[in-house]
Chain A
Amino acid sequence: MNITVKLFASFRTGRFGEKNFDCPEACRISYVLQELGISESEVGVLLVNGRHGDVDYSLAPDDTLSIFPLIGGG
């Protein structure tokens, strides 16, 4: 199935800002993170279609997954 993945801030480095992403039916967000090389501990917030999600959430076709870090530097 096809979903849209949006990456923000440092997650874009070496990846992309927004991209159509092909993944297995009903796959979990953790699968997408693994495919993108983003560890779960790096993730600040996950949104699916604008609502909070967690790594075990099962995605549906045409979902938009937004992945944000919590930026800790100062």
Chain B
Amino acid sequence: MRRIEALTETQIDRYSRQILLAQVGGTGMKKLLGARVTIVGAGGLGCPAAQVLASAGVGTIRIIDGDRVELSNLPRQFLHHTKDVGRFKVDSIKEKIEAMNPDVTVEEVRMFANQANIDDLLAGSDYVIEACDGQAAKFLVNDACIHLGISFTIAGVVQFYGQILSVVPGRTRCLRCLFREPAPEDPQNSCSGAGVMGAAPGMAGMIQANEAIKSIIGAGALQTDKLLIFNLIDCSFDFLDIAALPKCAACAQPQEPFYKTFDYGACVTVCHLGPHKL
């Protein structure tokens, strides 16, 4: 994390409502400005996450996605506008964030994360937000972050439903402790196949960003060891305890980068682009 010596007068004014919070203060604000958060995915989860992080003054946001904006993305991918259709999503987000907050540097990466490049893409991150579309990619981010020792939050959404889990490597249970392995990709379990209401990824992405902020400033409790499951069609929130799994493929031997050779299945679904090989 980059060390910030002092806040400017403009920063004290801009972030005054956050600095007022006992959990933030001047010290927490300097931590946020010195932090780098990586968001893997610039779609339904990535947009609200980036918006919250940038507004809050997280100093460096790395955003990774090789996809381009489509018209059907706009109802839920809030940082992309009609004029952005056809552009790389990361370029669209970079433009909006730079207009929103000059304190934030955006490191845009116009490629998809895969087994070969994931280490380089996550290097130097203080926190990772997994915002991919597809189970295999969620497991890849889970596995790589545990090996690299980077705390992260995973989310998944479809229709009005969502799931959220934060993981602190070496201390808390992970996606594999609960789900073991990715299931075969199912179009009915994707936003393009089953549909999605924008509030679902909006809420999940904002919670992911808040988890990153809490981790950086060292405040509160992360959503660890329990999977948060929300259902916005009946406004229900459930928590699923995650039992310890001593032989978890990711947690049992975190020093082994098994994700380099693990078979994540044939593909990860990328909305409307067809299969994208991991």
Q: Is B158 an interface residue (CB 8 A)?
A: yes
In angstroms, how far is the closest chain A Cβ from the Cβ of B263?
16
Known: A41-B183, A74-B191. A68 touches B156 (CB 8 A): no
> How far is B269's CA from A41's CA once the two chains are assembled, in angstroms?
16
Interface size class of B (residues with CB under 8 A): 35 or more
- B241 — which chain A residues lie within 8 A by C-beta? 50
- A13 — which chain B residues lie within 8 A by C-beta? 159
Q: Which of A4-12, A23-31, A56-64 contacts its partner?
A: A4-12
> How far is B229's CA from A12's CA once the two chains are assembled, in angstroms?
13
- A66 — which chain B residues lie within 8 A by C-beta? 240
Q: How many residues of A are in contact with the other chain, CB < 8 A?
A: 23
Residue of A nearest to B40 (CB): A74
Known: A10-B159, A41-B184, A52-B243. A72 touches B231 (CB 8 A): no
In angstroms, how far is the closest chain B Cβ from the Cβ of A35?
19
Residue of A nearest to B195 (CB): A73
- B131 — which chain A residues lie within 8 A by C-beta? 74
Main secondary structure of the interface of B (DSSP, over half): mixed
In angstroms, how far is the closest chain B Cβ from the Cβ of A30?
16
Those of B199-230 within 8 Å (CB) of chain A: 201, 227, 229
In angstroms, how far is the closest chain B Cβ from the Cβ of A33?
14
Q: Is B13 an interface residue (CB 8 A)?
A: no
> How far is B188's CA from A42's CA once the two chains are assembled, in angstroms?
9
Contact between A72 and B179, CB atoms less than 8 A apart: no
Contact between B134 and A72, CB atoms less than 8 A apart: yes
> How far is B88's CA from A23's CA once the two chains are assembled, in angstroms?
52
Contact between A73 and B179, CB atoms less than 8 A apart: no
Contact between B183 and A70, CB atoms less than 8 A apart: yes
Q: Is B161 an interface residue (CB 8 A)?
A: yes
Apart from A52-B243, A70-B183, what 7 extra A-B contacts exist at CB < 8 Å?
A13-B159, A17-B236, A41-B184, A70-B156, A72-B135, A73-B156, A73-B158
19 pairs, A vs B, C-beta closer than 8 Å: A9-B231, A10-B194, A41-B184, A42-B183, A42-B186, A42-B188, A43-B183, A44-B179, A44-B183, A45-B178, A68-B229, A68-B240, A70-B189, A71-B189, A73-B156, A73-B201, A74-B41, A74-B43, A74-B138
